[in-house]
Amino acid sequence: MIELEGLTKRFGSKVAVDDLSFTVRPGVVTGFLGPNGAGKSTTMRMMLDLDNPTSGSVRIDGKHYRELQEPLKYIGALLDAKAMHGGRTAYHNLLCLAQANRIPASRVAEVLDTVGLTAVAKKKTKGFSLGMGQRLGIASALLGDPEILMFDEPVNGLDPEGIHWIRNLMKQLAAEGRTIFVSSHLMSEMALTADHLIVIGQGRLLADTSMADFIHQNSRSYVRLRSPQQERLRDVLHQSGLTPVEAGNGTLEIDGATTEQVGELAAEHRIVLHELSSQRASLEEAFMQMTASAVEYHAHSAPGHGPQWAPRDKGA
């Protein structure tokens, strides 16, 4: 478990991380979502004691990182895949790390196998592709067989096969009861991977919610329709207590209605429909709106029926 309490980081006048408090729990993949520059990497670096907080604290299983006896056995991280020694082979990079952290050398072959790099174990890492580098970075995170794993944007630059592999690995590690914390700036990626979601914007906590609740609250569903008899259709809909909204190109949208309900109403009043469909707003849209409205106070006009969200109170 990872617990953040009022975590704050300032770089001069810039507040990169602003009073963040949340808990990352075991057994699930927790997604850490925020647009570029939101403060995800800075937060993760403070979790690993690579940056000092201006104020606040991070506890790993109740302890500060510095108090962990052999940190790699508690927490493994993929922050920067290029942080390996390019002149060394994949095997030797991992062996050095194992020896420095009192991890048995036999573990090196195991993790190389887990990440699918056994065939290139004796190759120098400077020739590695981005995907191979990511796999090696993940192997180093797994080396100490830690209960907690953190991945900063692990799918960046990977091909579809690599992305699929990383997603499955994270789910498998969570299913083993481990704590998995993974950052991304893409809602679509999080929707496929994460069970729980922490959203930040300009360093501040915007949401701390289960993925299922986020989808439920933010996937606005509505009915879209077009008709050559739009005026009459509008009247009929209004009379039935529905509120159609003009959506351009002769299209109407109605929240809180079903296609069955609207189709039957139209049939009853002998109104021709050219389109009748059920729509769902994308989660990416919901995320963009959430971060935009939280970080920018200048007047972005809020669309009539945009996604809903509520910032949580601070604290666990």
Using CB under 6 A, list all residues that contact ligand ATP.
11, 14, 16, 34, 36-42, 185
The two tokens of residue 149 are: 């794993």
CB closer to ligand ATP, 40 vs 178: 40
Beta carbon nearer to ligand ATP, 51 or 195: 51
Q: Give Cα separations from 307 to 26, 178, 189, 222, 291 (angstroms).
A: 29, 32, 19, 12, 12
Which amino acid makes up residue 47?
A: M
If the CB atoms of residues 30 and 227 are measured against ligand ATP, the closer one turns out to be 30
In angstroms, give the least distance from the CB of 198 to ligand ATP: 12
Shortest reach from residue 7's CB to ligand ATP, in Å: 12
Are 143 and 70 a contacting pair, CB within 8 Å?
Answer: no
Q: Are 240 and 265 in contact (CB under 8 A)?
A: yes
Residue 127: CB minimum distance to ligand ATP, A: 26
Nearer to ligand ATP, 14 or 238 (CB): 14
Tell the smallest beta-carbon distance from residue 103 to ligand ATP (Å). 28
Chain centroid, CA 61 distance in Å: 22
Question: What minimum distance in Å lies between the beta carbon of 225 and ligand ATP?
Answer: 40
Q: Which is nearer to ligand ATP, 10 or 92 (CB)?
A: 10
State how far the Cα of 138 lies from the Cα of 150, in Å rounded to an integer: 10
User: Residue 39 or 144: which CB sits closer to ligand ATP?
Assistant: 39
CB of 186 to ligand ATP, least distance (A): 10
- Say how far apart CA 255 and CA 24 lie, in whole Å: 35
Do the beta carbons of residue 244 and residue 224 sit within 8 Å? no
Strands (E), the chain: 2-11, 14-24, 29-33, 55-60, 75-78, 148-152, 179-184, 196-201, 204-210, 221-226, 244-246, 251-255, 275-280
Amino acid at 91: Y
